[in-house]
Amino acid sequence: MINNLGRVTFEDRKEIVAIFNNLLRRQVGTKYPAVDHIMQRPVILFKLIEGYENADIALNCGMMLRECIRVQELAEIILKSDEFYKFFDYVQKSTFDIASDAFATFKDLLTKHKSLCAEFLELNYDLFFSKYRDLLNSENYVTRRQSLKLLGELLLDRYNFSVMTKYITNPDNLKQQMNLLKEKSKNIQFEAFHVFKIFVANPSKPKAISDILLRNRDKLIEFLTSFHTDRTDDEQFNDEKAYLIKQISELKEIKA
């Protein structure tokens, strides 16, 4: 059915999606026969991922993929395959609808099964974050904004604690976030702030990090003081901002 998805009509494609999704949920006793079937033939999953390359069937494949990802075993197969890294290209596609659908699937993969995902991120830290860095520098505004937001969510999730500690010790990551803070888009600034705060709040900052912060101390304080002053009703944000300013201004004293 999936092989021929491109050949059938618009309405029939949706029927196929419905059949596929229902098959996946079918339960016999304690077993899900369709899930077992796909686990033995992971090619099916890779075919679905490839579907993002065909604009006609991309969204249908996306729906089926997200249904598969609900099952931990199937999500694991995708995460552990090389095909997973195709998503880094798909989410930057120029067609808005496909790119955002691919992003939704990408996000599901990384957030649905937290412990699985934490394990994955730890094992593949270098490859994943070097790719992710490109997403944050993407030409595409929506990709940039969504991936930055997802990064904030991933880092602040306590399952990903060890990934987070690794991430905030890398000065390159800090530099990137500080550049994002200066973006002209208010929303990107705001999301970058939520990542940036983790660097500053880290009680045991490595020297490279505190050096950067120290070098830009006065500029940062000035910048943060005038940063999003119109967000008066967001108490948490203002508290955090005040905390960061305090932290940064106290930096020197530690050194001295």
Q: Verify binding: residue 25, another protein, rule CB under 8 A.
A: yes
- Reference 176, options 219, 129, 237, 215; nearest CA is 129
132 near 91, Cβ under 8 Å? no
Q: Which is nearer to another protein, 20 or 84 (CB)?
A: 20
Among the candidate windows 7-15, 31-39, 115-123, 154-162, which touches another protein by CB under 8 A? 7-15
Say if residue 217 is exposed, middle or buried (CB neighbours under 10 Å; 0-12, 13-18, 19+): middle
Amino acid identity for residue 210 in this structure: S
CB atoms within 10 A of CB 68: 23
Q: Which residues contact 225 (CB under 8 A, 6 or more apart)?
A: 245
Question: Cα 129 to chain center, whole Å?
Answer: 10
Q: How many residues bind another protein (CB under 8 A)?
A: 22
* Of residues 146 and 210, the one with the C-beta less far from another protein: 146
SS3 200: helix
By CB under 8 A, tell whether 236 contacts another protein: no
Q: How far is the CB of 49 from another protein (least distance, A)?
A: 18
As a whole number of angstroms, the distance between CA 23 and CA 18 comes to 9
Instruction: Give the nearest distance from C-beta 91 to another protein in angstroms.
Output: 12
**In the bound complex, what is the minimum distance in angstroms from residue 83's beta carbon to another protein?**
23
Contact residue for another protein among 21, 81, 216, 247 (CB under 8 A): 21
Applying CB under 8 A, among 85, 96, 161, 243 the residue interacting with another protein is 96
Kindly write out the interface string for residues 29-58 of this chain, putting x where it contacts another protein by CB under 8 A and - elsewhere. ------------------------------
Interface residue list for another protein (CB under 8 A): 10-11, 14, 21-22, 25, 59, 94-97, 100-101, 104, 140-142, 145-146, 185-187
